[in-house]
Structure 1
Amino acid sequence: MIYELNKTKKKNGVEYKEQKFSIDTGDRVNDINIQDAVIHVLDSNAGEPILNEYTLELTEDTYNFLYKHIEKIFKNDDLVPAAFNQEKNLVKEIVQDYLNGIDRDIIEISKGLARQLFAIMKCNINIPSCDLIVTSIITDQGPMLGILKLDYVNSFTHQVDFIGNKIGVGLIKHSAALPGSSQRIQRAAFIKPIRGGQTFDLWVLDSNKGRKIDYDEYGANYFSNTFLGCSQVSDSRTETKAFIHAVERWTRNNITENAVEAENIRTTVKDKLQEEDNINITELADELFRDEPKKKQDFEVYIKGNGLDEKIKVDKQFVEKKFKRVRLKIDKDIDLYIGKEAYKDQSKFEIQRNGDGSINMIVKNVINYIEK
């Protein structure tokens, strides 16, 4: 583990030192066994939350609904390890009492968490109403307490009316439906028992994908910053993901009129990610831009400026998943989806350089195709 304590931040009028870790968390959670679950209704238009007095009956359907959501969250690339901040933290205290056996009443624990989140929601009208599920799970990495914020989605069902002696069937919109097991939850946390020497305290999903965020930082990051009071811990997966995105952003912004150079950068980086266990940013910059010192410096500074250290430990599992298929957007109006093996097979796909900075992308030996 690499540990730094160097940035001072201010939140809610209190200054604290931001902790930055660089760790290898190993395999993500795989085995999941749900023990208990409680659901509460947090409607920001109401004066009080609707707090449940009973645990959910874990029927086969209910168990599968929860399990599929939890499993999907643990497989989500946006799930990151995090550590609780140093200041006093109500969520941390409530959950640790439960995980350490001091208070084993999950209903009361979940009520405290629901009240805390509801108070935050009432302070910002942009935070969507939801059902909050608090669940106790056993995993291959030990016991955890899960917190799932299920924002409401619109759904429709039919309504049958009898008009005289005729049947009329219409549609009714439900604005407070829960996301189905095929849909993604945007915000969740799985908190571990806090033990001395451990490098992170919880897994956090705090995603704004698919949402237009036009409110302030408090509102955009309320789940991690204000509710959980935690900071992301950098592991090999988050570093690998950040590195890939940083390289692509730099290439898009700086190599706009030379497809040959852009292709060389992308191919070189992809090959290194798939072949090497570690990537040294300085050495990579030198290899890519040995004869262009200004580009070399700009590239190196930009990549490191995304919170990355000199050496990146590559998460092979993430790389395999990321590059299983290659998606190419060509001149804004052509999309290509190519499997990794086909992309590297010159009998099926080839990139030809034209000598003027442009390239030809050739799909070869087509014997069957369909139109979608």
Structure 2
Amino acid sequence: MFEIGKLEFLKAVIHVLNVENDTPLCSTFEVDQEDSLTFGFIEAGLNSILASKDMKWGRFSEADSVVKASCNILSENLSAFMDMTKEISYDLFKLMKENPSMPSGDLLCVLFLMDDVPYLGVMKYNYKTFLTRKVEAIRDGQSISIVRDSSLFATNRHKADEGFVVHLMHMDIALLDKKYEINGDKVNYLKENFIKCESGNSEKEKLDIFNKVTKNIEDKYIGEDLEKKAKIKKAVYDAVMEDGALQVEKVVEKAFEENDEVRHIYKEALSKAGIADEEIEVTESSLKRKYEMQKITTETGIEIKIPVDYYGDDTKLEFVSNGDGSVSIVIKNVGSLQS
């Protein structure tokens, strides 16, 4: 694994992979070193891959691939950059032609140093379709109309749609992948069909797995007990606020400290899912959206959002069981009301 640091760009090139053509349009020349706009765009793309919660770490598998062979050659001879990027482009283009679900795009390839170590970055920017005007010369004038145009449309800090960065000495891979239909199945094609590597889960995937396992446990063993559900959310919220990340084992212990049986079942389920010992990064927006509040909806459609900190504090919140089987919710010590 590696972290993004100060970049020293050595070479860069852009190849056009438009499936409406018979072959890729490969640039004959590298990007000019004085082209600050293009290199600024490339730097933003590299940062977007390494900072993405969808990025996962990988290593080449034993299977052969053009990317693996190209990286091995580059690790010995950096001057082979242009030839290797063309090889990569032609191989990816072939895969795209065979699978119509994969969109056309421009492939930005860059060779750079971080801490004197060489890296290869490959980023694909998929084409977007927009309406634009078309000016056409006719006789002694011109005709102007609206047409559809599919091409690279981006700001100078646009994020890469998909791509990878390879440490050319250790062959660690930072991978940002998307799923497309390949031979009838939706797969992460960069990982499985192009690079052919093995990888762990991304931070987003780990959090999704944690949430899925947690929901299954809630459905089977907690039911509609709002306080117990809120206790799990509070355990996550407190862990992230204290440690800066979701430490799975710590959350399990805190959420079910009074229920050994469910805690053991929860641990087993997380272990089977492969995340029992993980430390998961949770973005501020995800923390606020998923764990800061507990939403309650009554059978009449009334919705109440309650901070998870209120649960277990009788000075702020109380659930009162009524004799007829209904429940009253008492929110205490309210300073002011707003509509």
TM-score bracket, normalised by the shorter chain, equals 0.7 to 0.9
Structure 1 distance, partners of 2:159, 2:302, is 28
Q: 1:75 deviation in Å?
A: 1.3
Structure 2 distance, partners of 1:288, 1:270, is 15
The change in CA–CA distance for 1:106 and 1:218 in structure 2 (over 3 A counts) is: farther
The 8 Å contact of residues 78 and 207 in structure 1, kept in 2 or not, is answered as: no
Q: 1:105 deviation in Å?
A: 3.0
AA in 2 matched with 1:134: C
Structure 2 distance, partners of 1:250, 1:100, is 45
Aligned to 1:281: 249
Aligned to 1:71: 47
Pick aligned residue for 2:233 from 260, 266, 272? 266
The 8 Å contact of residues 72 and 184 in structure 1, kept in 2 or not, is answered as: yes
Q: 1:267 deviation in Å?
A: 0.7
The change in CA–CA distance for 1:174 and 1:113 in structure 2 (over 3 A counts) is: same
Aligned to 1:202: 173
AA in 2 matched with 1:203: A
| TM-score calculated relative to the size of structure 1 | 0.69
Unaligned runs of 5+ in 2: 322-326
Structure 2 distance, partners of 1:270, 1:283, is 9
The 8 Å contact of residues 149 and 187 in structure 1, kept in 2 or not, is answered as: yes
Output aligned runs, 1:283-302, within 5 Å: 284=252, 288=256, 290-291=258-259, 293=261, 295-302=262-269
Output aligned runs, 1:211-250, within 5 Å: 220-233=187-200, 238=202, 241-250=204-213
Structure 1 distance, partners of 2:232, 2:41, is 43
Output aligned runs, 1:1-372, within 5 Å: 25=1, 28-58=3-33, 59-101=35-77, 104-140=79-115, 142-159=117-134, 171-195=146-170, 201-208=172-179, 220-233=187-200, 238=202, 241-253=204-216, 254=219, 257-276=224-243, 279=247, 281=249, 284=252, 288=256, 290-291=258-259, 293=261, 295-309=262-276, 311-312=277-278, 314=279, 318-319=281-282, 321=284, 325-327=288-290, 330=295, 352-355=317-320
Q: 1:230 deviation in Å?
A: 0.6
Aligned to 1:7: none
The change in CA–CA distance for 1:258 and 1:39 in structure 2 (over 3 A counts) is: same
The change in CA–CA distance for 1:156 and 1:241 in structure 2 (over 3 A counts) is: closer
Residues 130-160 of structure 1, C-alpha deviations (whole Å, 9 max, x = no match): 1111111222483211111111112343456
Q: 1:179 deviation in Å?
A: 3.8
**Count of residues in correspondence between the two structures:** 320
Aligned to 2:324: none
Structure 2 distance, partners of 1:86, 1:232, is 13
The 8 Å contact of residues 177 and 189 in structure 2, kept in 1 or not, is answered as: no
Structure 2 distance, partners of 1:337, 1:74, is 35
Structure 1 distance, partners of 2:316, 2:182, is 44
Unaligned runs of 5+ in 1: 1-24
Counterpart secondary structure, 1:71? helix
| TM-score calculated relative to the size of structure 2 | 0.75
Larger radius of gyration: 2
Structure 2 distance, partners of 1:155, 1:79, is 28
AA in 2 matched with 1:99: S
AA in 2 matched with 1:119: K
The 8 Å contact of residues 294 and 305 in structure 2, kept in 1 or not, is answered as: no
The 8 Å contact of residues 316 and 331 in structure 2, kept in 1 or not, is answered as: yes
The 8 Å contact of residues 274 and 319 in structure 1, kept in 2 or not, is answered as: no
Residues 185-228 of structure 1, C-alpha deviations (whole Å, 9 max, x = no match): 23111111234xxxx621111135xxxx6665765221111111
